[in-house]
Amino acid sequence: MALGVVALALPGSAEAQLRDIVAKSVSASSSGASLELGFRDDATLRVRFDDGDVILDGNVIGSYRTGDELDRAWRALLGEAMALEDGALAERLVDWSAPSSLSGGLADAARELDDAFERALRETQAPAEAETRDVDASSQNGHSLARLLVGAIGRLGALDEALSGLDEDFRIHVDEDVTVGRDEVVDASIVVIEGTLTVEGGITGDVVVVGGALDVREDGYIEGEARIADARVLRDNGEIRGGIVDVLDDERDFQDDLRDRLRDEIREELRSNLRSELREAARLEDGDSYSIMAPLRPVIRGVGGVFEKLVLVFILGLLGAGFFAFAGENVDAIAETARRTPARAAMVGFAGSFLLIPVWLLGAIVLAVSIIGIPVAIAWLPLFPLAAILAALLGYIAVARVAGEWLADSGYPWTGWIRKSNPIVTLVGGLLGLLMAFIASHVISIAPFLGLLSGLLFALGVIVTIIAAEVGFGAVLLTRAGRRPEYPGGFDADAAWEAAMNIDVEEGLDAKHDREDQT
Amino acid sequence: MRTTMTIAAALLVPVAIQGQSWKTVTMSRQLQDNDEVRVSVDYGSGDFSVRSVDEGVLYRMNLRYDEDRFEPVADYSGRRLRLGVDAIGRNITVGRSRSGAMELELARGVPLDLDLNFGAVRADIDLGGLSLTGLSLSTGASESTIDVSEPNPLEMETAHVEAGATQFSMMGLGNLNADRIEIDAGVGEITLGLDGRWRRDSRLVIDVGVGSLELRVPEGLGIQLRKNSFLTALDSEGLVKRGDVYESPDFQDADRRVIIDLDAAFGRVSVVWTRAEHGKP
């Protein structure tokens, strides 16, 4: 029976002089400087110079002043520590000693620090019993030994799977990195457990890697299979002629199936719950169940709708009052344009509405293509829609005022309370007029069998609202938000006098002058 | 390097920074094994750089930060490494302030699943030399330059990059060694370099909102561009339109082919041909 060479590099090393430093943190600010070390056994050493105190592992061991000799020595040490790691850092810290020129409390604190470094870093580790040794074994023994080793590290199943059917000549390496050199050809199979196998040359047999890595470099090759169990494959143009077999694929597939099944079950459960919730919500909405309130639902819905519109009138009235107070002349100009050329304003409004989104997006593009414009684009994206909404509201309110004035002059019943001398009352009257179709729709919906009429009224309300908004928006655009009046507005004393007395003031004056000339 | 110099200066000249609340810190952790580590980095504002290091450390981080507002984070547990800074409380600073800085070095040769999140920063990142099993990069309003200067030795399934309002440049995409690269960009100037060593045919999925996109393609690399765009101008010099797609003339015969799915909303897309710089395409 052929023998396999089993090279075992078990964990363990020669006795260490200094502890391993696995983590390091060096910090500095105007108020202090600190060093924190972490060791392999999770122990730590913390030294802080902080606001005049020297603090070792949380205990104040002395004091210093910013810029004194101890502070300077400490900062110089940390300056070196910043660039050093692990062994070199440990050596430097152990070698550090208090400056001889220190005296008194500074010297005591420095000595304590020196001792602390010695204690923390010179703790020796117990020598490991195991050492690297070569063991010759038959392949059968190799299997047994491997199983023993692998059992100890919890990879028995994986290795057992990977070794099945392997050639009898092979080498095992445990917990060590192995390199097959560029000009080297290994005429056997290689098993590496918890290590990295780097192949720069050739391997004529198979390769088994468990819990490590297989790195096949350029020009490296493996004639047989690469069997991988919980290991990585790095292939930098190297060849694995027998292909890669992941021996844990089946296990992973099983886990994936299990996960998918669980996911499907959870998803189905969620769907089922969601359906139940939706059914319950729909049942409550439709009033499938008997309720003492059921006969009153149309009344509640109708009254609620009317109330909603009244609240809307109130809010728009407040907004209008604000516009009248702070931009009264602008509202006058917009209202005048809406009154005199409603069709033109509506056309401009519709065109403006269609162009809003393209203008918004194109503006963003123009600004975004340059770095300088990006901040402006960020402001443009939310502010442009906001300005458009504000313009539409301003226009709608101006149109409502025009509607209120028209209603005041109309002589219709229940419009006598609308007084043109009070713009707020006129506005509220106009808003109620514009929303009247909605209000009527809600009132009618209370009565049974009038659903169609209610729907028609609602549609009429929508049409009126759209037309009013477009006329208003167009008037806002035409007058540049009321800053460029298209028609003279405001109070004209002569016109008011002529209207009231039914005379022509200019004509009267001319007649008077003629009489004076004759006399 | 600048942060390193600042730390050294702060250590040697403590009085020079008197009256400021800036703190500098360098942190590192020794490499203990070569098992995969999931790295998550969060950094809000300032200068930000990432490099690879080959000095036996898992990471080395140099930070300069305002200690009144931030605290450094370096948490390693269960093969997960979290680095960066966390805000203290809910302070909001109005106006300009001096920016901090973060220099991060990550170990070569250690498989890393890297998750980088940074906000309003000036980022200079070189992922070359890192062994990446995954990459997720997210940036806000930043000026980011990302390079993959050396091939990634590990295969990556998907690399995902998300950029907000930004000037964003990412070169050496071929060196990522990824089956699929997803770039999701919001607003700004995006430059993508398809140079590097492509190990196999790959797919590049680009979703751009508003702005300009420049694709730098090395000669010899076969690309096929599938465009789904709205109000986007395409400068497809050097590409041939075949049906609904644009292809490089030698696409069918190219050693390596990259299929680009481009979804752009508004702006300009241009294809620029270059000579390969990061190894063969």
Residue A152 contacts residue A121 (beta carbons within 8 Å): no
CA B137 – CA A98 distance, rounded (Å): 47
- B5-12 contact pairs (CB < 8 A, 24+): B6/B64, B6/B101, B7/A26, B7/A28, B7/A82, B7/B62, B7/B64, B8/A79, B8/A82, B10/A28, B10/A29, B10/A33, B11/A26, B11/A28, B11/A33, B11/A75, B11/A76, B11/A78, B11/A79, B11/A82, B12/A75, B12/A76, B12/A79
Q: Is the pLDDT of residue A280 over 80?
A: no
* Range of lowest pLDDT (A108-122, A494-508, B146-160, B244-258): A494-508
Restricting to A residues 375-434, those with a Cβ less than 8 Å away from any Cβ of B are 377-378
Record: fold of B2-274: Pectate Lyase C-like (2.160.20)
CA A19 – CA A39 distance, rounded (Å): 7
How does residue B224 score in pLDDT terms, banded at 50, 70 and 90? very high
With contacts defined as CB-CB under 8 Å, which chain B residues touch A175?
none
How does residue A479 score in pLDDT terms, banded at 50, 70 and 90? confident
What's the confidence (pLDDT) of residue B107?
93
> C-alpha A353: how far from its chain's center?
33
- C-alpha distance from A80 to closest chain B C-alpha (Å): 9
CA A257 – CA A248 distance, rounded (Å): 14
Residue A199 contacts residue A177 (beta carbons within 8 Å): no
- C-alpha distance from B231 to closest chain A C-alpha (Å): 10
Select the residue from A369, A370, A376 to test the B interface by mutation, using most B Cβ atoms within 10 A. A369
Which residues on adjacent β-strands are paired with residue A350?
Answer: none
Percentage of residues in chain A with pLDDT exceeding 90?
13
Would you kindly state where each structural domain of chain B is located, as residue ranges? 2-274
- C-alpha distance from B227 to closest chain A C-alpha (Å): 19
On the 0-12 / 13-18 / 19+ scale of CB atoms within 10 A, B137 is buried
The mean predicted confidence, pLDDT, of chain B is 83
Residue B146 contacts residue B137 (beta carbons within 8 Å): yes
Q: Do the bridges between strand B202-218 and strand B257-274 make them parallel or antiparallel, or are there none, so unpaired?
A: parallel
Quick one: which of B35, B28, B130, B27 has its CA closest to B78? B35
Q: pLDDT (tens digit, 9 = 90+) per residue, A292-337?
A: 666 677 888 888 989 999 999 999 999 998 888 888 888 888 988 8
> C-alpha A406: how far from its chain's center?
53
- The answer to whether the CB atoms of B12 and A79 lie below 8 A apart is yes
Q: Is the pLDDT of residue A462 over 60?
A: yes
Residue B227 contacts residue B262 (beta carbons within 8 Å): yes
How does residue A282 score in pLDDT terms, banded at 50, 70 and 90? low
CA B190 – CA B169 distance, rounded (Å): 6
How does residue B48 score in pLDDT terms, banded at 50, 70 and 90? very high
Q: Is the pLDDT of residue A165 over 50?
A: yes
- The answer to whether the CB atoms of B11 and A67 lie below 8 A apart is no
What's the confidence (pLDDT) of residue A411?
78
- C-alpha distance from A16 to closest chain B C-alpha (Å): 16
- The answer to whether the CB atoms of B25 and A25 lie below 8 A apart is yes
Percentage of residues in chain A with pLDDT exceeding 70?
77
With contacts defined as CB-CB under 8 Å, which chain A residues touch B111?
232
- The answer to whether the CB atoms of B18 and A30 lie below 8 A apart is yes
Q: Is the pLDDT of residue A288 over 60?
A: no
How does residue A159 score in pLDDT terms, banded at 50, 70 and 90? low
How does residue B159 score in pLDDT terms, banded at 50, 70 and 90? very high
Greater model confidence, A67 or A253:
A67
How does residue A63 score in pLDDT terms, banded at 50, 70 and 90? confident
Nearest CB partner across the interface for B56, out of A38, A85, A215: A85
- C-alpha distance from A186 to closest chain B C-alpha (Å): 24
- DSSP 8-state assignment for residue A435: T
Residue B230 contacts residue B253 (beta carbons within 8 Å): no
Q: What is the mean pLDDT of residues B187-203?
A: 90
CA A18 – CA A12 distance, rounded (Å): 16
Q: Residue A424: enclosing H or E segment and its boundaries?
A: helix A423-434
Restricting to A residues 5-34, those with a Cβ less than 8 Å away from any Cβ of B are 20-30, 33
Full DSSP string of A232-267: EEEESS-EETT-EEETTHHHHHHHHHHHHHHHHHHH
What's the confidence (pLDDT) of residue A143?
46
What's the confidence (pLDDT) of residue A504?
56
CA B276 – CA A374 distance, rounded (Å): 32
Quick one: which of A27, A45, A28, A84 has its CA closest to A36? A45
Q: What is the separation, in whole angstroms, between the first and last Cα of chain A? A: 155
CA A491 – CA A303 distance, rounded (Å): 41
The mean predicted confidence, pLDDT, of chain A is 78
Full DSSP string of A309-331: HHHHHHHHHHHHHHHHHHHHHHH
CA A180 – CA A217 distance, rounded (Å): 10
- The answer to whether the CB atoms of A75 and B12 lie below 8 A apart is yes
CA A196 – CA A183 distance, rounded (Å): 19
How does residue B260 score in pLDDT terms, banded at 50, 70 and 90? very high
- The answer to whether the CB atoms of B14 and A33 lie below 8 A apart is yes
Q: Phi, psi at residue A156, to the nearest 5°?
A: -55, -50
What's the confidence (pLDDT) of residue A460?
92
Q: What is the mean pLDDT of residues A119-143?
A: 47
Which residues on adjacent β-strands are paired with residue A53?
Answer: A50, A63
Which residues on adjacent β-strands are paired with residue B131?
Answer: B111
Q: Residue A221: enclosing H or E segment and its boundaries?
A: strand A221-222
With contacts defined as CB-CB under 8 Å, which chain A residues touch B270?
none
Q: pLDDT (tens digit, 9 = 90+) per residue, A402-439?
A: 999 888 888 788 888 888 778 888 899 999 999 999 99
CA A182 – CA A103 distance, rounded (Å): 62
Which of A14-23, A205-214, A481-490, A497-506 tops mean pLDDT?
A205-214
* Range of lowest pLDDT (A365-379, B20-34, B256-270): A365-379
What's the confidence (pLDDT) of residue B169?
92
**Token representation of residue B257:** 């082919």
On whether any CB of chain A is under 8 Å from the CB of B169, the answer is no
Quick one: which of B165, B166, B264, B139 has its CA closest to B208? B264
Restricting to A residues 160-219, those with a Cβ less than 8 Å away from any Cβ of B are 196, 212-213, 215
- The answer to whether the CB atoms of A27 and B25 lie below 8 A apart is yes
With contacts defined as CB-CB under 8 Å, which chain B residues touch A368?
165, 187-188, 210-211, 267
Residue A23 contacts residue B30 (beta carbons within 8 Å): yes
